[in-house]
Amino acid sequence: MRGRLRLLGGMVRANRPWRLVPSLAPALAAAGAGAAFGIFYSNIWQLATALGTGRQVTVMLLALVAMTAWLIGNNGLWESSRHRSLREEMVLSNLSTVLTVACGVLIMFILLLLFTLLAAALVIPPHYLGSTLMQPPGIGDYVMIAWLSTSMGTVAGALGSGFADESAVRQAAYSRREQERRARLDQQDEPDDTA
């Protein structure tokens, strides 16, 4: 078990999940637009500060899972069972794909959160935020607004990722060795499709 976990960690590291972020320019643009919506609407400010940390975490996790699932499904990154003898390899490959894409999405989320927090601090005057929330604002209020706005933006980014180039996403999600392995499996399946 420990050996398989080390192998899985090595596969994810070889895939270099941070390379996924530049490939998702359309998703990042949509996520930025969704996050900006949260910054400019005072109803979102009130909701963000009323949610509490537990619900914010839940919303964030749902957004991250949605974005990860959308990227995997929309770009055909999930490997289906082709041969019974390769089942363990397929499970390991799919796990590494999920972890690679999830890490890339998390990196994108963190970058967007930092950008959104900076934008919120620049755009929302403290006195106006205080009058909207009916209490003196603090840095925590700005963090909560940026956090919810980023989660909303991530969901919008999932939809925007549909405009990303599928080959660019595949190239970013897989190491060269994994790309070669998948190409070999696809070639092996071609005769079966014509029969």
pLDDT, tens digit, 9 for 90 and up, residues 18-40: 777 777 777 788 888 889 988 99
- Show the tokens assigned to 189: 């399946």
Beta carbons of 56 and 139 less than 8 angstroms apart: no
pLDDT surpassing 80 at residue 63: yes
pLDDT, tens digit, 9 for 90 and up, residues 78-117: 877 665 556 777 777 888 888 888 988 898 899 999 999 9
pLDDT surpassing 80 at residue 8: no
Residue 43's identity, in one-letter code, is: N
Side-chain half-sphere CA neighbours of 115 within 13 A = 17
pLDDT at position 195? 46
pLDDT at position 77? 79
pLDDT surpassing 90 at residue 140: yes
Q: Is 54 helix (H, G, I), strand (E, B) or coil?
A: helix
pLDDT at position 1? 66
Phi, psi of 164 (to 5 degrees): -75, 150
pLDDT, tens digit, 9 for 90 and up, residues 149-184: 999 999 888 776 665 556 656 665 665 556 565 566
pLDDT surpassing 90 at residue 123: yes
Q: Of 125, 119, 143, 129, give the one whose Cα is nearest residue 32.
A: 119
pLDDT-derived band at 190, boundaries 50, 70, 90: low
pLDDT at position 148? 96
pLDDT at position 189? 56
76: left (phi over 0), alpha (psi -120 to 50) or beta: left
pLDDT at position 181? 58
